[in-house]
Structure 1
Amino acid sequence: MSQARERGSEHWRKQTFRNRSESSAVAGRKRAATHLAFGTPALPLLLVGAVVLVDLAGGAGVIWLPLLAAGPALAATTSGPRGVLCVGLLAAVLSALLGTRDGVPGGELAAVLSALVAVTLASALASALRWRRERVLAAVRSVAEAAQHALLAPIPSSVGPFQVAVRYSAAAAEARIGGDLYALVPTPYGVRMIIGDVRGKGLPAVGTAALVLGVFREAAYDEPDLLAVVARIERSLARNLGYDDFVTAVVAGYPEPGRLEVVNCGHAPPLHVRASGVVSSVEPVDPAPPLGLRALTGETPSLQVLPLADGDQLLLYTDGVTEARDHGREFYALAEGLARHVSDEPASTLAALEAELQTHVGGRLHDDAALLLLRKPAEAGRAPEAVVGRGSATVPAPLRPPAAGAGVGCGRNAE
């Protein structure tokens, strides 16, 4: 078993590295195409050419020559300092030639050329500052991408006996991660998962989400009882969170075929899709307070058992999805949307849901939103499940290696 895990772990690392390398190559090609499209002074050159043609056609001389300064000014928005200087030099040469041709007095022509040189130098300086800011922004984005890979490692399309798909959107502009969290890991006690929503937004929410995920990953492997996993997360949050901070979450486990365990701590109830297509909400029998508030209420969460047959699906989500409003302030009806778009491919289902959600809000979401969909396919043609030690506790065979950040998200998409 240990050798199989090592081989699987090595395959997982190679596959992850290959996927990231391919993503980096695609991103590099996109950046090169963008630079080619927007980094060349094509529009400024067209503007300079248009002024020259107007001057040649009308012979108005000095009336049109000052417009040549618009060329380097426009180049500052699309090109680097070198491109701005080239456009400015071309405009100055053409201005001198046209001024001489049109008989513009020397004093007036000198004034036009001086203004053109001043505009060119100022535009080159502005372009240099813009490029510097863009380099700093690129560095910040690279750090954000590194944090995303650490906390939001892509979840594979299959984990244990499940087909899996994930969609995530951060509310903060240019953000890759936020206050929503999710994880899906195979353990000696079956596949376990968590989805949650941290109170608040921004970096503090990201820090809390990272704390929850770290404790969950450790406890999911150590604790045979799912309620013990929740209790460890609760104790950690009680030591580290403020009095007004909390995390709503659903923690679930699949310890044996056909049996799904769910612990709901103040979170939106999952949606259960049966093989027949019927969608139902998994409402908690005994509602429990969010994680971090147990000491204030004294209530403890309860374990809810849900039968999960072949062909069934389970959708975990955060309130950023169900609380998304359209222009008429109507909430998005997730259950109805899921019933419309459900299919045998979780990735296709979530892609359709995400597109419909974006259409519903008319653009960008105003809150972090996460969707995690699992489907239990039929067992035909699949490897049998291997029992691991503890009675009915099972793990799918072969066991996928956990990887430190595998299947972990923190608050576009994980794919």
Structure 2
Amino acid sequence: MLTVALLLILTITLIDLQVPHSVHLGDLLIMVPAITSWYASFRVTALVTIMTVWALMAICLVRNSVNPPQVAALIATSVVVTIARYLAERRQRELVQVRAVAETAQRAILPPLPRRLGPLRLASVYLAAEEEALIGGDLYAAVRTPTGTRLIIGDVRGKGLPAVAAAAHIIGTFRDAARRLATLPELAAYLDSSIRSNAPEVVEPEQAEEVFVTAAILEIPDDEPLVQSVNCGHPPPLLLRANDVVTLEAGQPAPPLGLGALAQTTYHLDTFSLRAKDTLLLYTDGAFEARNADGAFYPLAKRLTPQNYCHPAAVLDHVRGDLLNHVGGRLGDDAALIAIERQPLGGTPHERAIG
């Protein structure tokens, strides 16, 4: 970068000294600091600025003539572009610091799930629709209990910081209540009540009545080859087993969490088989509602070709790459996915205690 600037200065200076005095090619020196400031650092820009002024003064001394407007224009332009470059670098440093803090905060709210919980192997991925964001209104969490693992995946209505705040509240409430409440219907009812009670503290008061969360709450016992779930208006899980992809439809879906007071809500408990080596895929609507350039939705279940994945992370790698390829690299809505693989029952005590 500095070499290019020096070559420009040297070339313009030598040519100017060779042409007649009536031709002032030294005026072109004014472009060197401006061009340098586009791609070089403040220090390099300042150095080029000084050398450019020296080159013009050398031309004036050799020619024994000084053009005050020419010198003044070069100095003024050089000072302006150097200051502008300094301010741009300072602004860039501030943005890097802000992004680092935001990234830390977002990862604290929604950290990746552990790769192993009891007899389960897990993987999670979050695809944020907004630029520079890591998370939005989608959420997931997993908690170990004395008898198994409880999970939640959900999607908060809305976007931006209010959705993030609501998601953080739900995750914290779930982590606390999942260890205390005996059944999933009780847990769902508690989450519904907590959202309604705390919505005014999480979002603006006028938006409190509009806060709700579609969610699937699951429990996978350590000692039984099954999964139990309560579905609150959320897309059903997909089960990968051998050469099949099965949609686990809820028998009686409940309203989204936060809307339980609108009707007499009963949280129905569904039970499905989950055998060793089965893989369960949980996802939010941003995954299957993603559209390509022709407006076609992403056919998640059809594109999820069963195969011998070495780990749940491999399932998500496949889905993530295929999904982003479908939409051309950028989603219109956040998407969260969890892949869970059941290991054979009766592992070692150490394996069953992980989490």
Q: Does TM, scored on the shorter chain, surpass 0.5? A: yes
Shift of 1:137: 1.3
What corresponds to 2:26 in structure 1? 65
Partner SS, residue 210 of structure 2: coil
Deviation of 1:239 (Å): 0.8
Counterpart position of 2:327: 361
Deviation at 1:359, TM superposition (A): 1.1
State yes or no: 1:293 paired with 2:259.
Answer: yes
Give the Cα separation in 2 of the matches to 1:206 and 1:383: 39
Which residue in 2 is equivalent to 1:316?
A: 282
Q: Match for residue 240 of structure 2?
A: 273
2:202 maps to what in 1? Answer: none
Identity of aligned residues (%): 38
* Contact 1:262-1:304 within 8 A present in 2 as well: yes
Structure 1 SS opposite 2:331: coil
Contact 1:273 1:279 in 2 (8 A): yes
CA distance in structure 2 between the aligned counterparts of 1:130 and 1:372, rounded to whole angstroms? 40
Determine the C-alpha separation between the residues in 2 that align with 1:361 and 1:175: 18
The residue identity in structure 1 corresponding to 2:236 is: P
Question: What's the offset of the Cα at 1:189?
Answer: 3.3
Match of 1:106, SS state, is coil
1:196–1:267 contact (8 Å) kept in structure 2: yes
Equivalent of 2:225 in 251, 258, 271: 258
Distance change >3 Å, CA 60–CA 357, structure 1 → 2: farther
Q: CA separation in 2, counterparts of 1:64 and 1:290?
A: 73
Paired AA for residue 353 in structure 2: P
Are 1:371 and 2:332 matched, yes or no? no
8 Å CA contact 2:214–2:233 kept in 1: the answer is: yes
Q: 1:225 to 1:189 in 2, by over 3 A?
A: farther
Q: Which residue of 2 aligns with 1:329?
A: 295
Secondary structure of the corresponding residue to residue 35 of structure 2: helix
Hey, what's the Cα distance between the residues in 1 that align with 2:308 and 2:152? 22
Contact 1:80 1:124 in 2 (8 A): no
1:1-400 equivalences in 2 (<5 Å): 42=1, 45-50=3-8, 52-53=10-11, 56=14, 59-60=18-19, 63-101=24-62, 103=63, 106-108=65-67, 110-241=68-199, 242-255=208-221, 256-274=223-241, 276-339=242-305, 343-379=309-345, 382-383=347-348, 397-400=352-355
C-alpha spacing 1:356/1:100, structure 2 compared with 1 (3 Å): farther
Distance 1:234 1:50, change over 3 A: same
Match for residue 203 of structure 2?
none
Paired residue type of 1:332: Y
State the alpha-carbon separation in 2 of the partners of residues 66 and 234 from structure 1: 72
Distance 1:107 1:94, change over 3 A: closer
Cα offset for 1:355?
1.3
Match of 1:13 in 2: none
- Report the secondary structure of 1:224's partner residue: coil
- Per the alignment, in what secondary structure is the counterpart of residue 370 of structure 1? strand
Q: What is the distance in 1 between the residues matched to 2:169 and 2:50?
A: 57
Normalised to the residue count of structure 1, the TM-score between the two structures is 0.77
**Shift in Å, 1:340:** 5.8
Supply the distance in 2 between the matched residues of 1:277 and 1:159 (Cα, whole angstroms). Answer: 26
The Cα offsets for residues 285-339 of structure 1, whole Å up to 9 and x where unpaired, read as 1121100011112222211001100110000011111111110001111112221
Stretch deviating more after TM superposition (340-349 or 58-67): 58-67
Structure 2: segments with no counterpart, 5+ residues: 200-207
Distance 1:167 1:60 in 2: 65
Residue 48 of structure 1: how far off its partner (Å): 4.5
* Amino acid paired to 2:288: T
CA contact (8 A) 2:276 2:343 kept: yes
What letter corresponds to residue 225 of structure 1 in structure 2? Answer: T
TM-score by structure 2 length?
Answer: 0.89
Kindly tell me: are residues 348 and 66 of structure 1, through their superposed partners in 2, closer, same or farther at Cα, counting changes over 3 Å?
farther
Q: For the Cα contact (< 8 Å) 2:9–2:32, is it kept in 1?
A: no
Residues 54, 84 of structure 1: alpha-carbon distance in 2 compared, 3 angstrom cutoff: closer
Q: Which amino acid aligns with 1:93?
A: W
Please give the secondary structure, in 2, of the residue aligned with 1:49.
helix
Moved more, 143-152 or 162-171: 143-152
Counterpart code for 2:43: R
The Cα offsets for residues 85-114 of structure 1, whole Å up to 9 and x where unpaired, read as: 11101112223334555x3x7243x43332
Distance 1:169 1:295 in 2: 32
Contact 2:15 2:25 in 1 (8 A): no
Q: Name the CA shift for 1:251/1:70 in 2 (closer, same or farther; >3 Å).
A: same
- Partner Cα distance (1:369, 1:99) in 2: 65
How big is each residue's C-alpha offset from its partner over 1:102-155, in whole Å with a ceiling of 9 and x where there is no partner?
x3x7243x4333222111110121122212222321232122122123212232
